[in-house]
Structure 1
Amino acid sequence: LGNKAASGTAIIEELGEEHLKSRKPICYTSADSVFQIAAHSDIYPLAELHKLCEVARKLCDPYNVGRVIARPFEGTPGNFNRTKDRHDWSIELPGKMLLDYLREEGVETVAVGKIGSIFNEQGIDVSHHDAGNEACIRKTFEIAREKTDKDQFVFVNLVDTDMIYGHRRNPRGYHDAVAAIDAVLPELESLLNVGDVLAITGDHGCDPTFKGTDHTREHVPLIFKTSGSELLTAEKASLGIRESFSDLSVSIQKVFGKNAQGNGTVFL
């Protein structure tokens, strides 16, 4: 069913009842390079939906589709809700990236939330598949409180501003989600050891006040917080508008004292 570009919540309202009767999966796309399959959890249990998506991933590979996404939902006609059991199958990366470089240099790489799915678990030592901001923040604090002698890079994705509020164009919910993140930052900063760095950014815009339901193209923030270190001089306090996310990649490698590999310009 479907086979068109559509909003994820709108298409399950439109075709959900027919899906329950026909048992046919709902297939749709958006402005992003994605192929999404939505199915009610009573019709396609998660394992079966995943099998569909694995087949779809192979079929999408020749077209370089970025991601295949499982979109399970539940409820009854007029009251369908997507669950938090979304899963992504990304196209195979064309080469190495930050996680690979750090891992090869002996840095333990830890993923929280959607990160493992986004990168097909490539370059990741430990992957925590917590769903939702609250669970991912809780897991991040657990990791920050653990004692370790290893150099460690923790990559966390907080998806609610995008998936729940940005695409749904819900400014109040978006505000509250950002405020909730902001509220826990002082405690997270207090857990940083000397030499630790907290980097905060976004992978794209998703303005909840803009028309439509897709991603938006504003600049995203880049905040680099250091603890007990003069890593950033006063002259470099403003990072300016960067040319590429690769600038963050090579700068993180420098934090760990590694030779920067890949593209990008170090801003430290």
Structure 2
Amino acid sequence: MAKVYKEFKNLDDQLDYLHKEKNIYFQDRDLAKNILLDYNYYNLVSSGKIKFVVDISNNNHKYNPSQFEEWSRYFLDDCQVSEFLMNNLIEFERIINSRTSFYVGELIEKELLSKKQHNEIAEIIINAKIENLDDYIGKETWKYISKMTFGNLKNILFWLLNSDKKTFNKIFSGYVFLQKGSIPQLKHRISDIVLLRNYLFHFTPLTLFLVYATGKNGNYYNRFRIKIVNFIYDLKPNQDILRIMKTLTECSNSFIKIKNSHLSD
């Protein structure tokens, strides 16, 4: 069956659709159009859906009547928390990247690895395909790692977990959450941090990160992702942000209950 693509809607069409399909009312249509234009229709509606959906029937979401201002206020709260977490993530990534560059550079440049280990980690660096640098030949390792994306850095961290836990623990010194646990647990946590970063830095609402993880039984399940958000928040906590985070989490939990109750529909 061919995929059905949604047609482009102009701003008036978007408002009319939101009123008809999502029971949203507008006090100032011009203001609403400016907000949709500047903040992205998809992101705002996807975020607001988490808070304002009250039921799902035949895969259609149902909403109580609400004002557009309520939807936009909730989305802007999401943005505020997301921007706060992004700042914490930038600092965290900078530290982990710097430590990894140093400690792995030391392992290679001082020939502290076996030939097999050297070849394995060199292959990871080569496969990262770092732009604006010559092909990696085992020299100036720290420079190549310092230019890696967080996603590529993850592959080195996974290798350390499997082959050199001592160096891994040096890199994550001070971050108990990423030192204690089984290797699969730690890999999962690191992967979720990378995923959270990718969500936020591509302007995807935080609430979408919280609601669309699934467990082994196919149900929606966000407990691990909440732990990741809390870890990043705790790097530099802020009570005003914490208050909003609690609301976002409560709405996410409520949405998940509704989704799970209709999985067999």
Fold match (TM-score > 0.5): no
Which protein has the bigger strand share?
1
Q: Could you say which structure has the larger radius of gyration? A: 2
Which protein has the bigger helix share?
2
Greater RCO (Cα-Cα under 8 Å, separation 6 or more):
2
Normalising by structure 2, report the TM-score: 0.29
